[in-house]
Structure 1
C-alpha cells in the first residue's frame, strides 16, 4: 500500500487544516451525497424565502460531512509551509 493509498477515504490536506478531495470511491459517494443534499435543501428551502431553514439544514449536512471525514479520513493537523 502506498502512502497515498492508506485506506482513508479523505487524505489530510497538504497545507492548512482539514481534508482534501476523496482518494477512495466511498469518499466520492459521500461527497456526491453531500452535494445532492445541498441542492435538495436549496430546492426545498430557497434561501431567498427561507434563509434560516436553509442555513440550518445546510449546517446539519455539513456537520455530518465533517463527522464522516473525521471518522474515515486521515487525522488532520496543521500543515504549514516550511
Structure 2
C-alpha cells in the first residue's frame, strides 16, 4: 500500500467536455453550435469557443487554398485535406452542438 490514490486518471476538463465525457446535460452554456431553425444541421456559433473552432477551420482551408494557387497539381490532396478538416469540424459540432434533426420553424 503506497498510499496513492488508485483512481483512474481523469482527462483535462476542456478535453473531457469536448469529447462528451463529463457532460451531464446540455444546457445553453454547453452548446457552441445551435441547431438551424430550418433544415438539418448547425448554425453559426454562439460562444467564443465555437467561433474559435470556426475561425481555425476557415484559416486552415484558406492556407490550403494558397498552396493550390502555387501548385495546381495538388488539387486531389487539397480535396482530401478539406474533407478531413470538415470531418473534424462536424465531429466538434456533433459533440458541442444541439441534436441535429429536421426542423421547420417552431416546434408544434
Instruction: Specify which structure has the bigger relative contact order, considering alpha-carbon pairs within 8 angstroms and separated by 6 or more residues.
Output: 1
Give the root-mean-square deviation of aligned CA atoms: 1.9
Aligned to 2:32: 9
Structure 2: unaligned runs, 5 residues or longer: 1-26
Q: How many residues align?
A: 78
Runs of 4+ aligned structure 1 residues displaced above 6 Å come to none
Q: TM-score, normalised by structure 2?
A: 0.66
1:58 corresponds to which residue? 82
Distance 1:70 1:81 in 2: 21
Q: Residue 74 of structure 1 corresponds to which residue in structure 2?
A: 98
Q: Quick one: distance in 1 between partners of 2:95 and 2:55?
A: 18
Distance, in Å, in 2 between the alignment partners of 1:49 and 1:38 is 17
Report the Cα offset of residue 51 of structure 1: 1.3
**What are the superposed Cα offsets for residues 38-82 of structure 1, whole Å, 9 maximum, x if unpaired?**
011112344833210110000100000000000001111001258
Counterpart of 1:28? 51
Name the CA distance, whole Å, in 1 between partners of 2:105 and 2:33.
Answer: 21
Q: TM-score, normalised by structure 1?
A: 0.85
**3-state secondary structure, aligned to 1:6:** coil
Larger-gyration structure (1/2): 2
Match of 2:60 in 1: 37
